[in-house]
Amino acid sequence: MPHLKKSQLLIGGALVWIFLSRLFQDDHTLELSTSENTGFTTAVGDAAASIRGNRTKSAAFIYLFNPIRATINGFVEAIRTLISVPRGNAIIPLIGWFGVAAIVAFTVYATSRLRTALLATSLLLACGALGMWQFTMDTFAMTFASVLLSLLIGIPMGIWAGLSDRVLKILTPFLDLAQILPTLVYLAPLALFFLIGTASATIATMVYSIPISIRITSHAIRNLNQSPIEAAVSMGSTGKQTLSKVQLPMAKQMIVLGINQTVMAALSFVVIAALIGAPGLGKPVVDALIIRNVGQGFVAGFAVVFVAILLDRSTSAAAKAQEGFIPPTPAQIRNSRIKLGLAGIATIISIFASRTVLSLAVWPSSINISSQVENVTNSATKWITTNLYIFTVGFKDFISNWVLNPLETLLAFSPWYVTLTAIVFLALVIGGNRVAILVTVLLSLIVLSGLWHEAMITLTQTIVATLLTMTIGIALGILVGRNESAERILRPFLDAGQTLPAFVYLIPMLGLFGPTRFTAIATGIVYSIPVVVKIVGEGIRAVPASMIEAATAAGSTVRQIITKVQLPAAKKSILLATNQGMIFVLAVVVIGGFVGSGGLGYLVILGGSKPELQGKGLVAGFVILLLGVTIDRIAQASARRV
């Protein structure tokens, strides 16, 4: 199909869609009252109630789910007892705050360098100064347990997938699904089988983290230099010897990087898992969002940011320590061992002191700046919303009135069969028959679920957020791709943006825009921009220099080079960035149900708090999955056809 004809079809289809939407507006929209169930959601709710009722009788619970829950719960609680929660009648945990700080400093120093250890320790102590010490320790316990269990599964499976094409082919669909599935979807089903609390939160975190470990480990094994491997095989090494003596040592740096990414994914999910009773920093964040206290939310948010930076810098420094390895001299080895030994002795003394001195065991209440931070934040938020009205309320109202409302009318308030047909037509033109058939099936399932209207509201917010994200992301991506100085300046912000949990972004956006639909959209924009900028920037840099030189020699201006050469040549990267941006945006928009965005995310959260709507919440989670797959397949088809 020629490109011009495809464009004409899309424009013509859009015009017909708009006409039919205006003609039959508010007819057959399948809109449903929030408190009302459909036959399907009622059946799902009854099934969920039956599962809860058979928890002590069903063989599946007695011999599988309950033992798994007890084992994981015991493992996490053992770590919490060690650093967070006193055991029995004790008034302090086994290791007090001073001992924990010493352990963190020693661990980071042993795996990287002194500067990183000082940074990590300072960030940890800052969490205590914010009055968040125990919440921070609970987050550490949850993250450590989740990461350890994830790596025990993810690394062996990643190695297997790296060595076997068949295994990789089997795992790839599940890994792709895990990548596009919004985090909120995991929570309710797992809480149903494992109850709310640490066990279900840990399992949910593992489900989110394991695919990352598998992907990076597999990639590390598959992209090794084959010459040393072939040499080892030719010398008679067995498969096991080649793996342990050649492949794993060569892949060590990439595997450590995989550990870094697994840690950051686990932390991100542990914060969100507060919605199903997980202890840690997510709890004060959720509490602040519920009561709309921006200052209190910022205090907890700062602690999450500090923990994220601490874990990211510590684990990434360990990965970088593997780069450019030069064998140390015997004197350097001896000095390093002496320093490490002295640090170890100091750590042991610190642990003992934290067990015997109360002020070193329990964080001193006199060292607490949370109220000051809360007051400053509330004052700053009030000043911004009062004096920068045009950039907060004004911009929000402009986007809502001129972009969000018209698109929502088109998607959610047209007859469902008109919207479904229009989206299928879009998929047919962009992706062909196969994609169109898949989209038809997925959208039909959404209709049958009874939550079509809410799905279209969520889709509206996702599209608007993606459009704004791409507008900003492409501009910054061009800047980063063309200017090395800009890339160096923006790189720390882009890296930091990708390390922070999405949940944390809701706090400042709530302060700026209040509990509205636009808060979720703005949060999605901020969360997804870093990945878009990076992909677009890489695409711009990858444009052959010869093309740019030819355009320059022909007298093209900078604007013409960008619009006529670099952007068309980087079109595939831009479409990939759009795909990733939409997936990132969807993940945050559904979380935005917490701050007034409505749609499917709100139903998931409501289903977790009201038993009579649990079925509706579970179905909403499934519909989010269907919507995510629909968006992903259309976007991927668009990228493939470039």
In a domain, 345, yes or no: no
**Higher model confidence: residue 349 or residue 1?**
349
Give residue 404's Cα distance to chain centre.
Answer: 25
In a domain, 338, yes or no: no
Q: How confident is the model at residue 320 (pLDDT cuts 50, 70, 90)?
A: low
Can you tell me the mean pLDDT for 470-490? 92
Could you tell me the CATH number of the domain that includes residue 172? 1.10.3720.10
| Residues 613, 46 contacting (CB under 8 angstroms) | no
Which whole number is the average pLDDT over 114-141? 94
Q: How far apart are CA 353 and CA 356, in angstroms?
A: 5
Of the pLDDT bands very low, low, confident and very high (cuts 50, 70, 90), residue 2 is very low
Q: Among the three residues 329, 344, 377, which one is the final residue of a domain in this structure?
A: 329
Question: Residue 32: which region, alpha, beta or left (left: phi > 0; alpha: psi -120 to 50)?
Answer: beta
Mean pLDDT, to the nearest integer, of 498-523? 87
Residues 62 and 19 placed together within one structural domain of the fold = no
- Note whether 314 and 395 are same-domain residues: no
How many separate domains does the chain show? 2
Residue range 363-391: mean pLDDT, rounded: 90
Q: Which residues contact 312 (CB under 8 A, 6 or more apart)?
A: 260, 263, 264, 495, 499
Looking at the domain assignment, is residue 248 inside a domain? Answer: yes
Q: Distance (Å, rounded) from C-alpha 244 to C-alpha 163?
A: 13
- 178 and 252 part of one domain: yes
Selection from 237, 240, 259 nearest residue 248 by Cα: 240
CB 524 within 8 A of CB 550: no
Task: Tally Cβ neighbours within 10 Å of residue 360.
Answer: 21
Domain carrying residue 186: 54-95+110-329
Q: Pick from 42, 123, 130, 140: which is nearest to 82 by CA?
A: 140
CB within 8 A of 104, min separation 6: which ones?
A: 120, 121, 124, 310
Structure tokens at 114: 């002194």
C-alpha distances in angstroms, 59 versus 48, 67, 99? Answer: 16, 11, 44
Q: Are residues 504 and 594 in the same domain?
A: yes
Q: How far apart are CA 381 and CA 373, in angstroms?
A: 12
**What percent of the chain is modeled with pLDDT above 90?**
51
Contacts of 297-301 spanning 24+ positions with Cβ under 8 A: 297/506, 297/507, 297/510, 297/511, 298/373, 298/374, 298/377, 298/507, 298/508, 298/511, 299/130, 299/131, 299/132, 299/370, 299/373, 299/374, 299/377, 300/130, 300/132, 300/135, 300/507, 301/504, 301/507, 301/508
Integer CA distances (angstroms), 507 to 39, 217, 282, 323, in order: 37, 34, 12, 38
Same domain, residue pair 88 and 181: yes
DSSP reduced 3-state for 179: helix
**Same domain for 633 and 586:** yes
Query: What is the separation of C-alpha 580 from the centre of its chain, rounded to a whole number of angstroms?
Result: 12
Q: Are residues 195 and 322 in the same domain?
A: yes
Q: Which of 281, 301, 329 is the last residue of a domain?
A: 329
Residue 1 confidence (pLDDT): 44
| DSSP states of 345-375 | HHHHHHHHHHHH-HHHHS--TTS--HHHHHH
Residue 616 has a pLDDT of 94
305 lies in a domain? Answer: yes
Residues 458 and 566 in one domain: yes
Distance separating alpha carbons of residues 51 and 122, to the nearest angstrom: 47
- Entry pTM: 0.89
Cβ–Cβ < 8 Å for 247, 224: yes
CA atoms within 13 A on the CB side of 135: 26
The tens digit of pLDDT for each residue in 332-354 reads: 788 888 988 999 999 999 999 99
Looking up tokens 């949910």 gives 204
Do the domain assignments include residue 344?
no
Q: Clarify whether residues 481 and 609 are in a common domain.
A: yes
Closest CA to 620 of 595, 597, 603: 603
Q: What is the DSSP letter of 327?
A: P
List pLDDT tens digits, range 83-101. 988 877 778 889 999 999 9
Confidence grade of residue 522 (pLDDT, cut at 50, 70, 90):
very high
Are residue 550 and residue 485 in the same domain, yes or no? yes
Cβ atoms within 10 A of the Cβ of 340, count? 13
Q: Quick one: pLDDT at residue 319?
A: 63
What are the tens digits of pLDDT across the range 243-272?
A: 888 888 888 888 888 888 899 889 988 888
Answer whether residue 354 is part of any domain: no
Say yes or no: 502 and 449 in one domain.
yes
Whether 298 is covered by a domain: the verdict is yes
Q: Is residue 352 part of a domain?
A: no
pLDDT digits (tens, 9 = 90+) for 580-593: 899 889 989 888 88
List the structure tokens of 24.
């039959």
Instruction: Kindly provide the b/e burial profile for residues 101-137, where b requires at least 16 CB atoms within 10 angstroms of the residue's own CB.
Output: bbbbbbebbbbbeeebbebbbebbbbbbbbbbbbbbb
Last residue of a domain, one of 329, 347, 362: 329
Q: Which amino acid makes up residue 9? A: L
**Mean model confidence pLDDT for the chain:** 89
Q: Treating both helix axes as pointing N-terminal to C-terminal, what angle do 3-23 and 405-412 enclose, rounded to 10 degrees?
A: 80
Q: Does residue 315 share a domain with residue 263?
A: yes
Residues 267-307 have pLDDT tens digits of 988 888 888 888 999 999 989 888 888 899 999 999 999 99
Q: What is the pLDDT of residue 253?
A: 80
Share of the chain above pLDDT 70, in %: 97
